[in-house]
Amino acid sequence: MPVLTYRDALNQALREEMQRDPNVFLMGEEVGVYQGAYKVSRGLLQEFGEHRVVDTPIAELGFAGIGVGAAMAGLRPVIEFMTWNFALLAIDEVVNSAAKMLYMSGGQIPIPIVFRGPGGAALQLAAQHSQAFEAWYAHVPGLKVVAPSTPYDAKGLLKSAIRDDNPVVFLEGEMLYNVRGEVPEEEYLIPLGVADIKRPGDDVTVICHSKTVAVALKAAEELAGEGISAEVIDLRTIRPLDTDTILKSVMKTNRCVIVEEGWPFCGVGAQVAYEIQRGAFDYLDAPIERVTGADVPMPYNKHLERAAKPAVSQVIEAAKRAAYAD
């Protein structure tokens, strides 16, 4: 099976969907001539031309609005934000227009649009460029929110997102673009709303997504050396949330650790914890543990930045507390 980087898997997904459906087009900052700020759109301008790979000014509100209008007219836009930190300027179009139009039109006007780009912290990009916004967008009815962790998942989920008739917020981990993994040559789709068990286990469930999947898997490996078997669940889609997979795992292990890059207050993990206590309270043998980013703006200093991100050691400590092995 071919091994691709995360960025090349996304590139394949875009190319295949643009070849399959002439209504699919890509629009955003530097997606064309520059081949994409992170080279996800490499080669697409040459293959599909400037009418389907559209470079825009640095005006997120403007080109997001054009995308929403195009979706209302029956096209399938893929809107690339250079970073989700910049997309705050377009949140009116994402939240007030894309998310609400189907409902406000009484089901008459679907909005088949994907908003995609990198999110979360990279390396020393400081507070304004290091934010994980999954919880923000997942809060909004009408939006689907996707955060893949591997090249395989990134390709399959992006293809499904492009084919979906609803607006999809597609958050790519900024530090994942060079991650490599196996991606089948044959076409495949991964349905939105289905989590994946990345590592089976019996003693504690570790729930994560995007960049924290690698953190959780490394922690699970170290825990195994100490006799603790951790089951790692990659949410993949934040909304809709695969509650069934979460509950089945917790009912088996009776313990849970939730790991996310975002801030703790009103975070993704808060919703997951609610679903667990509502659906599997009687199965819990210990309080649910959460490991999150620090509740501060992201520091620029590299040592402080490292301390503000979820760490393998924190996941191990949380799992041991949940298993009463600390």
Q: Which residues are annotated as catalytic?
A: 60, 129
Question: Distance between CA atoms of 326 and 315, rounded to whole angstroms?
Answer: 12
Cα–chain center distance at 160: 14
Residue 307 CB neighbours (<10 A):
12
Question: Distance between CA atoms of 269 and 207, rounded to whole angstroms?
Answer: 9
**How do strand 230-234 and strand 204-208 relate by DSSP bridges?**
parallel
Burial category of 8 from C-beta neighbours within 10 Å (exposed 0-12, middle 13-18, buried 19 and up): buried
Question: Distance between CA atoms of 141 and 114, rounded to whole angstroms?
Answer: 16
Burial category of 234 from C-beta neighbours within 10 Å (exposed 0-12, middle 13-18, buried 19 and up): buried
Q: Which of 130, 117, 54, 114 is nearest to 83 (CA)?
A: 117
